[in-house]
A and B are shown apart, each in its own frame.
Chain A
């Protein structure tokens, strides 16, 4: 996983609530047995006028011009600005894989769906919860300003706009540590293998049928 420290990124606004994982990456792309290469199919049905299929070369596919990702002013965006309940629906990690592969490193929204939220951290994508009022303001500023950028600093847990105004966000110390260092969580957990073994032995004694 890529480490995340600071990001000064162009912002792309996606003004819809309840954006579900089927919209983020449609099911036909879930047939892949790889972790990478999903970026060109991110928001496939909203982005292209034809029907996307896995393995398709997307460079010449017909675009839906109105969709934000297709507007030149948002090309190269690294921060996705979204609305309530972003990432609802399935547990598919292909959703954060597609977001990351496209080039987004952070998502700002008033709320996220639980599974999507934790999947983001595992892939170096920082989900930032901001109040509805702040998100409203960011949408307004983003619409009004070409090349609107935000500066995210994970160490200080802050996001700063071009005018220098800032807000802070929450993250658990454990997740922050893993993100800052780009750590492999499995390696960290295996440092506690002895404790897991001890727990398992006790658990098996109490409920042997769980180990049939």
Chain B
């Protein structure tokens, strides 16, 4: 019998029961929650007179609607405020292991605070009513986004009704060049497989270049698995994972720790495991990436030019390119490096951790934002990240460069709070989605790494970070 993939090991260890057609009940270890996708689930529980199966599986905090400045003034938008207060009330009523209300010193983006507290661990199943739950796969946890009906289902039963995914291995061998980050690897992969390439799959990322990534880099990569269509991304835990988790608040302690790490070391795909699809990339060939269109698959290397629809034979795709160029206000064949920015956003669950901020600060140190760039927002992923950055003096570097140092939250990743693009404004963003209107109605988003975003803020246009 062939060996098992990491995905199969995680799946098999959580099957409560299986129907003849392969539909399974999967046990859920960790339930992350935020204010946007949970209110209707709690309401459903109330209407049915149900109580949570295991409220200590819940880790929650508001992040989408919270402002990133003037915290003393509270949440001005009454609809946003109601949503945040509804989460407060629901957690009070139903309970949770960890809850950081608005303005708590540790509040942040849910996908940043889970790992930093050790509430995400290898071998777990992790769900959240949020597609970027894939982030937690960086620890070798089976983690994916669910809808609100499923949030309610997990609340009430601690299980999910699901079918096994197909297995894909994306192998990135070799070493990436200087200036090429986890974000560039993620974008290059999506450029190759397309936004639907991973549909129906759980993707395991492997190979030398993935092993070489830090834990935070692996989170960036798994975060964007969903942009490649895969609900879940995975990286097998290794010594780096164990080192990262050691001593974190909710990580196992004492004898449990020894037992846990012995188990975690078994969480790798067996040498003879079979994948349904294997895709290989050469790390050395990956260059800094910039998206030019309105889908993450519309991505190019920094040295490239914006595509010309006339060169696309498929009429459906040609229409897609034309529509994207029009929305983005770009002319075919323009060099990417000639694209000028109005705003820059460094933050989001993709790139708001301490290493991201260090990388951006290293680029910005001693420099000034271009006069043509109106605003550069630096939004740390959590209160802990913010304190760490301030202890290292990164905030001063940003402020001296003319950037704005903000409070943690989702911010301009999706503009549910006051941070947003105005119609027609163009932004270099370290977030994960460049959809029409994502960062504000009519706003134009280019996805890049933190280094590339910081360099663009200083130059006023995209630049190749390798020559910066």
Q: Which residues of A contact B (CB under 8 A)?
A: 16-18, 20, 22-23, 26-28, 30-35, 45, 51, 54-55, 83-85, 88-93, 96, 111-115, 118-119, 122-123, 172-174, 184-186, 189-190, 192-193, 195-196, 199-200, 203, 207-212
Contact = CB atoms under 8 A, between A and B. Distances in A.
A192 B48 contact: no
B441 A45 contact: yes
A190 B133 CA distance: 25
A173 B149 contact: no
Contact of B153 (A35, A85, A174, A185): A185
Nearest to A190: B157
Contact of A122 (B80, B121, B149, B436): B149
A13 B37 CA distance: 29
B129 A196 contact: no
B56 A207 contact: no
B81 to A, nearest CB: 9
B147 A118 contact: yes
A54 B65 CA distance: 14
A119 B149 contact: yes
A83 to B, nearest CB: 7
B157 A18 contact: no
A196 B150 contact: no
Given A20-B435, A23-B435, A30-B36, A114 B199 contact: yes
A76 to B, nearest CB: 27
B123 interface: yes
Interface in B132-152: 133, 144-150, 152
B250 A186 contact: no
Contacts of A27: 414-416, 438
A31 B64 CA distance: 9
Contact of A91 (B145, B200, B416): B145
B39 interface: yes
A20 B298 CA distance: 14
Of A31, A122, A212, most buried by chain B (CB within 10 Å of CB) is A31
A18 B414 CA distance: 18
Given A207-B123, A209-B252, A189 B436 contact: no
Given A172-B21, A172-B23, A192-B25, 14 more contacts: A22-B437, A33-B86, A35-B40, A89-B433, A91-B129, A123-B149, A173-B19, A173-B21, A174-B19, A174-B161, A184-B48, A186-B156, A190-B156, A200-B158
B199 A196 contact: no
22 contacts: A18-B195, A18-B295, A20-B435, A27-B416, A31-B65, A33-B86, A35-B43, A35-B148, A90-B145, A114-B200, A115-B131, A115-B144, A115-B146, A118-B150, A119-B149, A172-B21, A173-B20, A174-B21, A184-B48, A196-B158, A196-B159, A209-B260
Interface string B242-281: 0000000011100011001001000000000000000000
B149 A185 contact: yes
Given A22-B438, A85-B229, A185 B158 contact: no
Contacts of B23: 172-174
Contacts of B82: 31, 33
Interface string B174-207: 0000000000000000000001100110000000
Contacts of B79: 31-32, 54-55
Contacts of B316: 17, 83
B466 interface: no
B424 interface: no
A207 B263 contact: yes
B147 A93 contact: yes
Contacts of B437: 22-23, 26, 45
B11 interface: no
Contacts of A195: 16-17, 25
Contacts of A83: 316
Nearest to B16: A199
Kindly state the interface size class of chain B when it binds its partner: 35 or more
Contacts of B156: 186, 189-190
B314 to A, nearest CB: 11
Contacts, number: 186
A64 to B, nearest CB: 13
A85 B199 contact: yes
Q: Which 5 A-B pairs have the closest CB atoms?
A: A209-B252, A122-B149, A119-B147, A33-B39, A91-B145
Nearest to B255: A208
Nearest to A186: B156
B292 interface: no
Nearest to B17: A195
B25 A189 contact: yes
Given A22-B435, A93-B37, A209-B260, A186 B48 contact: yes
Contacts of A118: 147, 150
Contacts of A200: 27, 54, 158
B83 interface: yes
A203 B316 CA distance: 50
B83 A31 contact: yes
B309 interface: no
B231 interface: yes
A83 B315 CA distance: 13
A122 B147 contact: yes
Nearest to A1: B149
Contacts of A93: 37, 40, 129, 147-149
B163 interface: yes
A22 B149 contact: no
Contacts of A184: 48
B145 to A, nearest CB: 4
Contacts of B43: 33, 35
Contact of B196 (A111, A173, A203): A111
B157 A186 contact: yes
B403 to A, nearest CB: 25
Nearest to B231: A114
A59 to B, nearest CB: 21
B124 interface: yes
